[in-house]
Amino acid sequence: GAEPAASPASESPERRRWAPDPAPRPEERRQWTAPTPAPAPAPAPVPGPTIKSPSGGGQKLKLDKHEQIDFTALTQNECLGTGGFGAVYRGFFSGKEVAIKKLFCEDGGNISPLQLEELEKEVAALRNLDHPRLVSFVGACLQPPNLCIVTEYMPGGSLHHLLHKAKTPLVLGQQAKLALQVCEGTSFLHSLTPPVVHRDLKSLNIVLDLLYNAKICDFGLTQSMEKTHISLKEGGNGGSPRYMAPECYDCKGKITEKVDVWAMGCILVEAFGGPLPYEETPQMAQVLNLMRFHRQPPLVPPWFTPEVKPMLAGCFDFSPETRVSSREVSEVLVTVTADDLERHGMDKRRTR
Helical (H) or strand (E) element with 258: helix 258-271
Up-side HSE of residue 142: CA atoms within 13 Å toward CB?
Answer: 20
Question: Residue 316 class from Cβ within 10 Å (0-12 exposed, 13-18 middle, 19+ buried)?
Answer: buried
Catalytic choice (107, 200, 340, 347): 200
Q: Are strands 223-224 and 196-197 parallel, antiparallel or unpaired?
A: antiparallel
Residues 6+ apart with CB under 8 A from 167: none
Q: Is 317 a catalytic residue?
A: no
Is residue 102 part of an annotated ligand binding site?
yes
Sign of torsion over alpha carbons 284, 285, 286, 292: positive
Q: Is the peptide bond before 320 cis (omega within 30 degrees of 0)?
A: no
Strands 254-255 and 223-224: unpaired
CA dihedral for 98, 93, 61, 89, sign (positive or negative): negative
Enzyme catalytic residues: 200
Residue stretches of the annotated binding site:
102
Residue stretches of the annotated binding site for ATP:
102
